[in-house]
Amino acid sequence: MRELFNAARTGFAEIWAHKMRSALSFLAIAAGSMVFIDAFSAIVNTYSQLEQQKAVSGLARLKVTNNRSLSLSNTDGYQMPPVIDYEEVAALRRQFPDLYMVSPEAQDWREVLQYDGRNVVTSVTGVTPDWTKRDFIYKLRGRFINKYDMDHKLRVCVIVRKAPPPPSNDYFKQRRKEWNFTASFDELAAHNDLLDKTVKIGRVTFTVIGVLDALPYSERPENLLGYSNDYQVLAPVTTMYSYNMLGPYDSLEVNVDTGNEATFDETVRKIRNFFKVRFGSEDAFVIENQMGLIRERMAESVRSSLATVSLGMLAFLAGGIGIMNVTLATVFARTKEIGVRRAIGASRRDIMLQFMVEAVMLGLIGGVIGSVLGWLWDVPIKVILGMGAAKISAWIPLVSVLIAAFTAFVFAIYPAWVAAGLKPADALRAE
């Protein structure tokens, strides 16, 4: 232990005596450590997103929509596209009662909401109670739409209050301002407690039975699908059909969660056959395999991160070569010192230990610097640039420092072996 301590003290003195040379060695290793942390944290975050997706959004997901292209591809003229109505959805639920979620929705994109003398533009989405089973990123005050509301086509609604947007650059701020046609509604919902109040949407009066406060973006689970609808007002889909807010040609978009990843493919086949029988052709509808999309997104993210990890390994390799070069130069510059130490009784092991410890210290310090730079890049700098902070687990910088130290250790073996192999008489004659 004392020998190790003396070697560390000597190594630190040598590093301090040649600050510029040591700093360049630090930076070479630090670059690899920084890239490694950024890439590995991306891989860890990808699998963390998968776990969040399982808990909140589920993986056994699919979406059924009507094939709108059929109405445009008909050479004999325009024909109405096939319609998936509420009866189709109810029949699907009856035939497959074990499905975890069957959530149809359709949106009336532009309506006028009146409240307290103000008229604002909003959108109204027809939903069912199953809507809350997945992607629920809200805090509910009051209650949500229930089966009684659906069956009796009650004029009730739920208001959605948006969370403040995440930090972004001027370009995205400008785009939000340009395209947010419901900004007046968002302001109205944010500054008024509409729970248990009556509002008029179009020509229909609704009672607000619930308010959904969207979670802040920092608290939301990740969504590997990468998109979500922009909801303002939710109402029973049966009510919207009954009061002509949705017409007979408005098709529902049906989100289905089979509830079981193991039987997902078989369930998709059954659902496909169900709609094929109802419509008479597979061309009348489109089934989007969202679990497949999630897997593709994950694979793409992992491939990208692994490519970055390989760059980090190359940077470590370059840093290791730099340390080997510096250590060899140190050996030849201190040849006489090595001869004196051998002459007064230092063993080859002592000489090797001295240079190995010095090189490992270079790697350790470089690894620590790289870990600090990696954290600064992944957390505050990415937030400032509007890229979103990465989540860095405590063990990732530790692994990075250990890799840096191991790299320095491996590349110092040859220079240390050369130093230990010098004969005392030859080393003492060196100038």
Nearest to 227 by CA among 194, 253, 190, 196: 253
DSSP symbols for 310-374: HHHHHHHHHHHHHHHHHHHHHHHHTHHHHHHHHHTT--HHHHHHHHHHHHHHHHHHHHHHHHHHH
| 220 pLDDT more than 60 | yes
* Rounded-to-10 torsion of CA 10, 15, 18, 22: 150
Highest mean pLDDT among 253-267, 362-376, 387-401, 403-417: 253-267
Domain positions in the chain? 2-52+301-429, 61-257
Task: Give pLDDT tens digits for 345-354.
Answer: 778 887 888 8
Q: Can you tell me the mean pLDDT for 189-208?
A: 95
Is the pTM higher than 0.85? no
Helix axes 2-17, 19-52, angle to 10 degrees: 110
Nearest to 351 by CA among 428, 430, 415, 431: 415
Q: How confident is the model at residue 158 (pLDDT cuts 50, 70, 90)?
A: very high
